[in-house]
Structure 1
Amino acid sequence: MDRFFHSVTLDSEKCMGCTNCIKRCPTEAIRVRDGKACIISERCIDCGECIRVCPHHAKRAQYDSLSVLNGFEYKIALPAPTLYGQFNHLDDIDIVLTGLKRLGFDDVFEVARAAELVSEATRRMMREGTLRLPVISSACPAVVRLIRVRFPDLCSHVLPLGSPMEFAARLAKDEAQKRTGLPREKIGAFFLTPCPAKVTDVRVPVNFERSEVDGAIAISEIFPKLTEKMEHLDQTEALQGAGVIGVSWASSGGESAALLNDKYLAADGIENVIRVLEELEDERIRELEFIELNACAGGCVGGVLTVENAYVAKARLQRLRRYLPVSRNHLEQEVRDALHWQTDLEFAPVLKLSDDMEQALQMMSDIDRICGSFPGLDCGSCGAPSCRSLAEDVVKGEAKESDCIFVLREEIRSMADVLGAIGGHAAGEKGREGLK
């Protein structure tokens, strides 16, 4: 974890220090200090939960604008299947894809096509018995990063395959090179993303040296411009190339259903994901073979960079899938090899107290002692998400025990008692002097 880029950023001018975000962050990466929130960079997994819960819109996501297309001679749009669920009364995916070409892209390659290939590769690997069960999906980058920083024992369970986004970019560029004869550096592939975690995965991928994706544009950014183009289409091009399996990846359970295996679990929403991972870590889940986890409620349709309610979008996709075949893409061996991660997923110990074991044990003892002096309410008034996290901050020298309002109140009360006793003693002395 020596390289950091985060699409989730903070606008300190809008922040009111309300502590909503610190309680919902899954890695305790946010503190409120001096009345403003601050993000601990090495802990952040860009899940976007703070963006979702901030009532003042002080958290926001960085992403590319359409101007990023200007740096390439040939531009390819990589629409996530989530995009299709944003439009009302859509009965033909080609309307969306043709609209993207009218918007300035030279070609379109559906991420749903790559999703069908990833599903087939997963099915084959599970049949071959080469994976450690239960297998955890690697499709959600926020979940992968969460496991990397918080659940080290589960790293070996994560499916060692690239995401459909990454694979779609690679295949799209391969096809464009053959068709146009252009060098690869002049071909740009741009993902239309529903979430900030994908933006981070493009800039700093975990298991690849570099991403094949050249930019990530928010669905919410492109939606109004794309809608206008779609409304003025005189005809559509036959561009759609995915089936039910690929499009279903947009919502929770879609990836699991594509494995044609009923021994699976699909959970969505970061709090539910954490519960499942904790049970996996404690070995309380044994009978399952595949675990699909999505940080956003409802799956990718619930990403904070979408425009439609997640459950409305999911319902629209269910209607849209009725017109599609089961699958339209099939895997070849050389393609399968290109799917594999370039490096293994390794634990990133960003939560450890110290590199020195003896010092870490002493710090842990100090944390227990200090935490015991707090009320255990986890109220967040101190600017930390819990009493224990405040105790950890105190031990690290990043906070004071008196940041706890209950400790501060006792200190003020003790001080008042002392001052009162001193004042009473002084008054008594003065009275005695008067009698003399």
Structure 2
Amino acid sequence: MNNHKFFHSVYLNEELCNGCINCIKRCPTQAIRVRNGRAVITSQFCIDCGECIRICAHHAKRSHFDHPDIIKNYKYTVALPAPSLYSQFNNLDDINIVLTALIYMGFDDVFEVASAAEIVSEESEKYVNEHHDQWPLISTACPSVVRLIRVRFPNLIDHLLPINPPVEVAARLARKEAVKKTGLPAEDIGIVFISPCPSKVAYAKDPLGVTKSDIDGVLAIKDIYPLLLPLMLAAEKSPMQLARAGKIGVGWGIHGGEAAGISTDNYLAADGIENVIRVLEDLEDEKFSELAFIELNSCDGGCVGGVLTVENPYVAQAKLKKLNHNLPRIVTHTPPDIRNDELYWTEEVEYLPVYRLGESMKESIVMMNRVEKLWQKFPGLDCGSCGAPTCKALAEDIVRRKANETDCIYILKDQIHSLTRSMNSLVNNAASYEVKGNDYRYIFKQYLKKLLSEISLLDSALNLNKDDKDD
């Protein structure tokens, strides 16, 4: 099996988990199981989409991110606000108010990710027009989508747009600009992204397409939001002129915004991880023809729907559209001195066969046959009571030696029924048992009756549980 080490932003707080199965039913990659009354996240299957955080009523699923005090670790810090940050505030009519508030918060400078998005839009349009052989090209701005393709849709890897996401381009340009402005060594400058989602936290630690990210820290929008509100009141009186992005860049924060930056109507845009998976499945089945570009966002509504935001994603979309209304179409163009390695991937994104059952093709086929046979034994209800999301997933877990057949409540019930019948027969015939020298028939019979009573109680309990579910 592949030895790739995975870093994940999403993690489980075991103290808060009560073993409900909401998360296993919603995880798009079947990365979660419930074992011994607690959820367990399978690292190599997780794509950090944050759906489990969104669905968990007990707040047991959480995301790693940095504390705002990270700005004290560097001599000079630059904030990288995501376009989705602007959509969190009511009645915002000037982006400069938010950017000025970030300076008041303690950052030395700001570099809008929206500004880098306009550069990426220009370069993406150029690449799409020059590479018809790779059509449809799939956006790589959402790390969860790229991770999903890498582990589940290997035939689509060649369609990935090999351009760094705007946050990475922004980080590289911001560092270069800060070094030039301050004369400080690059390592003394902290580049801090303000993120709407755990996916980009994971990207900063374990990037795709590059060896190392230029992002030094990631803050959650939900943590920054309450800090910015009072500072924005002060910033509103005299905002600094810091904005450098137009409609195209700011529009990246919502569904369809990236595609709008490419001058073509020959595109498809989908949001929400379940919709994304359906599009990728259809794409793999070659159901699309002559599409030039596909924009995919794992969060509903685009980045404004990330689980590290505070606003309803659909309200946030409306706010961002209103804010965008009076902006110029594009402000930032590709700098003439930008290097190819600042824009494009320098590392290949390779297929990771994490779902493969065996070490070899022959072993995998044998194990797949075992899975099919086991699967047929189960009721096909996909109830989740076993701790796996589907009956097939349980069969795969059994073949991987991570579960047992009796984890299925229906298999367990059938076994207890069988045991009850056997014990009934044994008790009824106990009178015929004799032991030389001593007669233990009475003791033996009493023991069997007690055992039979316990089994019958368990059998009744299982039937009661089933009746409760039926009700």
Partner of 1:399: 403
Task: Give the TM-score normalised by the residue count of structure 2.
Answer: 0.89
Taking the aligned partners of 1:36 and 1:322, their CA distance within structure 2 comes to: 48
Secondary structure of 1:46's counterpart equals coil
| 1:242 corresponds to 2:222 | no
Taking the aligned partners of 1:336 and 1:143, their CA distance within structure 2 comes to: 26
Long gaps (5+) in structure 1: none
| 1:389 corresponds to 2:393 | yes
Secondary structure of 1:47's counterpart equals coil
Counterpart of 1:73, as a letter, is K
Secondary structure of 2:158's counterpart equals helix
The one-character-per-residue Cα deviations of 1:378-422 (angstroms, maximum 9, x if unpaired) are: 111000111111001111111000100010111111111111222
Counterparts of 1:30-41 in structure 2 under 5 Å? 30-41=32-43
Counterpart of 2:287, as a letter, is R
Shift of 1:131: 5.7
Counterpart of 1:369, as a letter, is K
Partner of 1:422: 426
Q: Which one of the candidate residues 260, 273, 286 is aligned to 1:270?
A: 273
Taking the aligned partners of 1:408 and 1:3, their CA distance within structure 2 comes to: 37
Aligned-residue RMSD, C-alpha: 1.5
Partner of 2:370: 366
Counterpart of 1:25, as a letter, is C
Shift of 1:423: 2.5
Q: Which one of the candidate residues 207, 210, 223 is aligned to 2:209?
A: 207
Report if aligned partners of 1:268, 1:297 keep a CA contact under 8 Å in 2. Answer: yes
Report if aligned partners of 1:131, 1:159 keep a CA contact under 8 Å in 2. Answer: no
Counterparts of 1:22-421 in structure 2 under 5 Å? 22-129=24-131, 132-233=134-235, 234-332=237-335, 334-335=337-338, 337=340, 338-421=342-425
How many residue pairs were aligned?
431
Counterpart of 2:378, as a letter, is F
Shift of 1:137: 0.2
Report if aligned partners of 1:32, 1:383 keep a CA contact under 8 Å in 2. Answer: yes
The one-character-per-residue Cα deviations of 1:217-240 (angstroms, maximum 9, x if unpaired) are: 000011100111112234110001
Report if aligned partners of 2:27, 2:51 keep a CA contact under 8 Å in 1. Answer: yes
Secondary structure of 1:86's counterpart equals coil
Runs of 4+ in 1 over 6 A off after TM superposition: 427-430
- Identical-pair percentage: 53
Taking the aligned partners of 2:404 and 2:140, their CA distance within structure 1 comes to: 40
Taking the aligned partners of 1:236 and 1:123, their CA distance within structure 2 comes to: 34
Taking the aligned partners of 1:194 and 1:417, their CA distance within structure 2 comes to: 58
Taking the aligned partners of 1:151 and 1:103, their CA distance within structure 2 comes to: 43
Shift of 1:130: 5.9
Taking the aligned partners of 2:339 and 2:138, their CA distance within structure 1 comes to: 19
Report if aligned partners of 1:156, 1:345 keep a CA contact under 8 Å in 2. Answer: no
Secondary structure of 2:49's counterpart equals coil
Taking the aligned partners of 2:386 and 2:129, their CA distance within structure 1 comes to: 52
Report if aligned partners of 2:28, 2:274 keep a CA contact under 8 Å in 1. Answer: yes
Task: Give the TM-score normalised by the residue count of structure 1.
Answer: 0.96
Taking the aligned partners of 1:16 and 1:202, their CA distance within structure 2 comes to: 31
Taking the aligned partners of 1:427 and 1:261, their CA distance within structure 2 comes to: 87
Report if aligned partners of 2:47, 2:148 keep a CA contact under 8 Å in 1. Answer: yes
Q: Which moved more, 1:216-225 or 1:417-426?
A: 417-426
Secondary structure of 2:114's counterpart equals helix
Whichever of the two has the greater Rg, that structure is: 2
